[in-house]
């Protein structure tokens, strides 16, 4: 911990886990000296049982931690398939049954790790004042809201407009401390190429796959004189389907955007197993993001 003008907090951002988490990760982060850990979601893959195992491991963390649910968290494979398919509206309502129960089960498994969505937290990690604004959960990106029936029941969000309004209300609840957004998918407005930081790489047509409601929330914050330091998210894996690489971070209008989804986050490097996360160094006036392989 630093003091005075150089006072800084360190925050570990863990990208889409997708089951790549083990006891060595727990031991590393417990001894890392981080002030806060942020998980951008997708702890699970296509089965919730194995995702629960990851969650039960995360509960052994001794560092304060927050997690936003990704599109793989609380959704079984059939539901996720129906959400992705362009003509499966009826199946979405059928397969979403039980999502609230599955999310509660995930929340219980995480223990002290906060499972958050549409939330605002005022923190002072290492003495640095900071507002954490947590965005829409279970995002699959693009123009349509996934898990709409669940969002309506759990959060009163039944359209992109009501999601924007909900996010704006979270910003209004913040004090004058800087804001850091935690989301599963990043905002739209940062590129429409397949290898843009949140561009679509799995369709023939390249397009912006970021969340429009998050873009509008960021615009609202900036237009109201709020200091937004960064947005951290994942979802769109850094390596695209064609083998290209997305940028890990982009700065625009004074805001740092970080895509932490280095998947898989466990790699063999020079015969040694390495684990990925992003280190944020945050001061009252700025933020720096650095990839870490440990």
pLDDT tens-place string over residues 256-268: 999 999 999 999 9
Class of 8-293 in CATH: alpha beta
SS (H, E, C) the chain: CCCHHHCCEEEEEECCCCCCCCHHHHHHHHCCCCCEEEECCCCCCCCHHHHHHHHHHHCCCCCCEEECCCCCCCCCHHHHHHHHCCCCHHHHHHHCCCHHHHHHHHHHHHCCCEECCCEEEEECHHHCCEEEEECCCCCCCCCCCCCHHHHHHHHCCCCHHHHHHHHHHHHHCCCCCCEEEEEEECECCCCCCCCCCCECCCCCCCCECCEHHHHHHHHHHHHCCCCEEEEEEECCCCECCCCCECCCEEEECCEEEEECCCCCCEEEECCEEEEEEEEEEECCCCEEEEEEEC
Which pLDDT belongs to residue 82?
82
79 near 146, Cβ under 8 Å?
A: no
Angle made by CA atoms 165, 171, 173, in degrees to the nearest 5: 105
What are the φ/ψ torsions at residue 243 (nearest 5 degrees)? 95, 0
Q: What is the pTM of this model?
A: 0.95
Q: Per residue in 159-189, pLDDT tens?
A: 999 999 999 999 999 999 999 999 999 999 9
Of 4 and 137, the structure prediction assigns the larger pLDDT to 137
Let me know: does 198 contact 188? Beta carbons within 8 Å.
yes
Domain residue ranges of the chain, discontinuous segments joined by +: 8-293
Residue 87: the pLDDT is 65
């Amino acid at each position: 911990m630093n003091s005075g003008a150089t006072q800084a907090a360190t925050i570990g951002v863990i990208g889409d886990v997708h089951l790549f988490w083990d006891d060595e990760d727990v031991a590393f982060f417990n001894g890392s000296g981080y002030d806060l850990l942020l998980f951008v979601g997708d702890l699970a893959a296509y089965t919730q049982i194995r995702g629960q195992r990851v969650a039960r491991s995360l509960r052994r963390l001794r560092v304060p931690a927050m997690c936003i649910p990704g599109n793989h968290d609380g959704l079984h494979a059939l539901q996720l398939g129906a959400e992705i398919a362009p003509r499966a509206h009826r199946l979405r309502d059928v397969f979403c049954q039980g999502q609230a129960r599955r999310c509660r089960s995930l929340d219980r498994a995480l223990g002290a790790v906060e499972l958050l969505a549409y939330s605002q937290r005022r923190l002072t990690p290492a003495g640095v004042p900071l507002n954490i604004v947590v965005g829409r959960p279970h995002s699959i990106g693009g123009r349509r809201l996934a898990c709409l029936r669940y969002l309506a029941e759990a959060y009163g969000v039944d359209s992109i407009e009501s999601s924007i309004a909900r996010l704006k209300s979270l910003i209004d609840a913040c004090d004058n401390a800087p804001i850091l957004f935690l989301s599963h998918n990043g905002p739209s407005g940062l590129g429409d190429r397949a290898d843009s930081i949140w561009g679509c790489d799995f369709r023939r047509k390249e397009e912006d796959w970021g969340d429009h409601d998050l873009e509008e929330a960021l615009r609202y914050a900036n237009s109201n004189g709020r200091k937004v330091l960064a947005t951290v998210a994942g979802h769109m894996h850094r390596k695209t389907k064609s083998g290209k690489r997305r940028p890990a971070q982009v700065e625009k209008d004074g805001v740092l955007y970080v895509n932490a989804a280095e998947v898989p986050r466990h790699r063999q490097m020079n015969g040694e197993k390495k684990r990925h996360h992003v280190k944020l160094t945050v001061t009252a006036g700025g933020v720096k993001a650095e990839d870490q392989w440990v």
